[in-house]
Amino acid sequence: MVAVNFLAYVNISRGTADHICSALIQALENNLHMTKETIFSKLVGFGSDGASVMTGCKSGVSTRLKREQPLLFSMHCMAHRLELGFKAVVGENSFMTTFSELLFSIYNFYHSSALNRENLKSSCAAAGVKFLAPSRVGGTRWLPHTMLALKKLWSMYPALMQHFEQVRDMILQINTCRYFRISF
């Protein structure tokens, strides 16, 4: 059975390969109480998100580590690769692009307006559903963020529809008033 344990959380002053590599080695030295030589004699693998700062062939973190331990096996995290592949496929599908834009628009509509958020809370109370603030889609964990946004949308669907209808009716009233003002 594979177990994952976090050794340390380290703040770095800059996100360069040099700073990341130095912080990594220092964290290993401090927390495992080993010398740099002992660490590299035991180091067999390195996994990362695939960003060029981590995997760059000239000066990425894995390349720097391989200079000290040439037998080091470096790999791009499979979860990150899967998500990148999925995003590439979804990016070619116009329905999924439109769907993602819809989820982002709903998030933005409520995130950027306290009034809209409060009105949605009232609609949730009236519809008898739990209020869950709409989630942002995108970012580094696109799939889980999209799934969470979709679950929230689905659980509040009656309240969202009620609030959207209220907003639509209000916009129609405003536009009707403007029309009559212009026509006089």
CA distances from 138 to 8, 78, 86, 135, 147 (A): 27, 19, 13, 10, 11
First to last CA, the chain: 79
- 157: containing domain: 94-183
Structural domain includes residue 102: yes
pLDDT at 78: 83
> What is the C-alpha to C-alpha distance for residues 96 and 89, in angstroms, rounded to an integer?
9
Say if residue 122 is in the same domain as residue 161: yes
Say if residue 113 is in the same domain as residue 176: yes
Say if residue 66 is in the same domain as residue 107: no
Q: What is the pLDDT of residues 89-144, one digit of tens each?
A: 877 878 877 888 888 899 999 999 999 999 999 999 999 999 999 988 876 667 78
Residue 23's pLDDT band, with cuts at 50, 70 and 90, is very high
Structural domain includes residue 22: yes
> What is the C-alpha to C-alpha distance for residues 27 and 31, in angstroms, rounded to an integer?
6
Number of domains in the chain: 2
Structural domain includes residue 86: no
Structural domain includes residue 68: yes
Say if residue 144 is in the same domain as residue 101: yes
> What pTM value is reported for the model?
0.55
